[in-house]
């Protein structure tokens, strides 16, 4: 993405840019913003043709819609990527064509990072947030693309939002998520061993709280072999306890966060 201007603000800079005594007010504002967005999305799903400032778009025209929306960017493009392969590919393909001088931020969850790790790691403005994200693209603070539903689902849809109040709310939500994200350069890339199916199954056993003997039996390995695998996984995760290993596994996207 040669020539593109990237915003390299750190978490500390973002925190210092707001008065420290206003943290409670900011949190309350974010909660109100989230409520507004959830209500807007719910309303759009019930009456997609009547919501002012929101235009429905089918899944198959998502790439075309993103091309048109991001192509209009003149100041900023703020992106939140989910694990949807089609969505991630469509956004990244268009971002490489963003004009010089446009500030670009990309926030993704571990699942999205799995889709295109090399390309995302080549960008200096990517942050990772281990919590679930909604697919959002906000352009110039004037318009936004909002994914509705899950990829491949019968009700998969998207919306282009042009209502100023709704776009401002999305921008506010994005800013809050961005400030909590971890810079991708500080987010270690798991080794092939940690991404193996055996490791995933062992981590699931650890999270379930089963005894070593029960877990070893479920995996059809000896107790000694199971404990050796656990010790090696904990060492690679730099975890001092099994609980910490579980937390690190979620942070790295090796396990999905339970609700």
- Domain coordinates of the chain in residue numbers? 5-186, 197-251
pLDDT, tens digit, for every residue of 116-166?
Answer: 888 888 887 899 887 767 889 999 999 999 887 655 554 567 888 998 888
In angstroms, what CA-CA distances link 147 with 44, 114, 123, 167, 219? 12, 19, 23, 14, 38
Judged against a pLDDT cut of 80, whether residue 103 lies above it is answered with yes
* pLDDT-based confidence at residue 1 (cuts at 50, 70, 90): very low
- Which pLDDT does position 135 carry in this prediction? 87
**Radius of gyration, alpha carbons of the chain:** 21
5-186 classified as CATH 3.40.50.720: no
Task: For CA atoms 226, 232, 236, 239, give the dihedral sign.
Answer: positive
Q: What is the mean predicted confidence (pLDDT) over 48-65?
A: 57
Could you tell me which CATH class the domain 197-251 is placed in? mainly alpha
Would you call 137 exposed, middle or buried from its count of C-beta atoms within 10 A (0-12, 13-18, 19+)? buried
């Amino acid at each position: 993405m040669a020539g593109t201007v990237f915003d390299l603000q750190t978490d500390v800079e973002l925190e210092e840019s707001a008065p420290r005594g206003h943290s409670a007010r900011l949190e309350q504002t974010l909660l109100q913003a989230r409520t507004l967005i959830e209500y807007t999305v719910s309303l759009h799903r019930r009456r997609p043709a009547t919501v002012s400032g929101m235009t429905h778009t089918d899944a198959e025209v998502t790439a075309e819609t993103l091309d048109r929306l991001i192509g209009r960017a003149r100041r900023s493009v703020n992106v939140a990527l989910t694990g949807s392969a089609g969505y991630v590919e469509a956004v990244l393909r268009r971002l490489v064509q963003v004009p010089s001088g446009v500030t670009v931020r990309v926030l993704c969850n571990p699942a999205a990072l799995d889709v295109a790790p090399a390309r995302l790691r080549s960008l200096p403005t990517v942050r990772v947030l281990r919590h679930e994200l909604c697919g959002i693209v906000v352009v110039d603070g004037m318009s936004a693309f909002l994914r509705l539903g899950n990829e491949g689902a019968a009700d998969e849809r998207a919306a282009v939002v042009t209502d100023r109040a709704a776009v401002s709310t999305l921008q506010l939500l994005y800013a809050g998520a961005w400030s909590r994200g971890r810079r991708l350069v500080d987010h270690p890339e798991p080794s092939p061993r940690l991404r193996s199916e055996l490791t995933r199954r062992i981590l699931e056993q650890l999270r379930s709280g089963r005894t070593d003997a029960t877990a070893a039996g479920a995996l059809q390995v000896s107790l000694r072999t199971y404990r050796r695998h656990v010790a090696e996984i904990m060492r690679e995760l730099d975890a001092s306890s099994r609980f910490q290993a579980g937390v690190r596994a979620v942070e790295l996207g090796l396990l999905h966060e339970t609700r």
